[in-house]
Amino acid sequence: AQKITQTQPGMFVQEKEAVTLDCTYDTSDPSYGLFWYKQPSSGEMIFLIYQGSYDQQNATEGRYSLNFQKARKSANLVISASQLGDSAMYFCAMREMSANAGKSTFGDGTTLTVKP
């Protein structure tokens, strides 16, 4: 079964508007971390934001926030005030405490295009 599901292959947003990228996950491990990465066309993976399974508050990092709904097993990324430089592929990932060697499981990604 897919552990990380990103149901939006592609998304468009107007510059300066907010956009939500969806991510649902599946795990039976009570201790896990959820991550979002940005991959521009150059290929490098840029870490954006982290949410721990025991965190009471939603994570925020600048224009990025994570809408964490534990009961629904969702961890959606919200980007506020979109910029042209936000156009990239975005990956949701999960690390379970029980995972061998701390390996992460990645979703298939969402390609975000910001329109001027």
Partner 1 sequence: DGGITQSPKYLFRKEGQNVTLSCEQNLNHDAMYWYRQDPGQGLRLIYYSQIVNDFQKGDIAEGYSVSREKKESFPLTVTSAQKNPTAFYLCASSIVGVPNTEAFFGQGTRLTVV
Q: Which two tokens stand for residue 51?
A: 């949410």
Provide the mask over 11-40, with x wherever binding to partner 1 is found by CB under 8 A and - wherever it is not. Answer: --------------------xxx-x-x---
Minimum CB distance to partner 1 smaller for 1 or for 116: 1
What is the pairing mode between strands 32-39 and 88-96?
antiparallel
Tell me the window of 60-68, 70-78, 80-88, 108-116 that interacts with partner 1 (CB under 8 A).
Answer: 108-116
Give one DSSP letter per residue of 47-86, joined into a string. EEEEEETT-SS--EETTEEEEEETTTTEEEEEE-S--GGG
How far apart CA 71 and CA 50 sit, in angstroms, is: 18
Residue 106 as a binder of partner 1 (CB under 8 A): the answer is yes
**Contact positions toward partner 1, by CB under 8 A?**
31-33, 35, 37, 42-45, 47, 50, 52-53, 91, 93, 95-97, 100-104, 106-109, 111
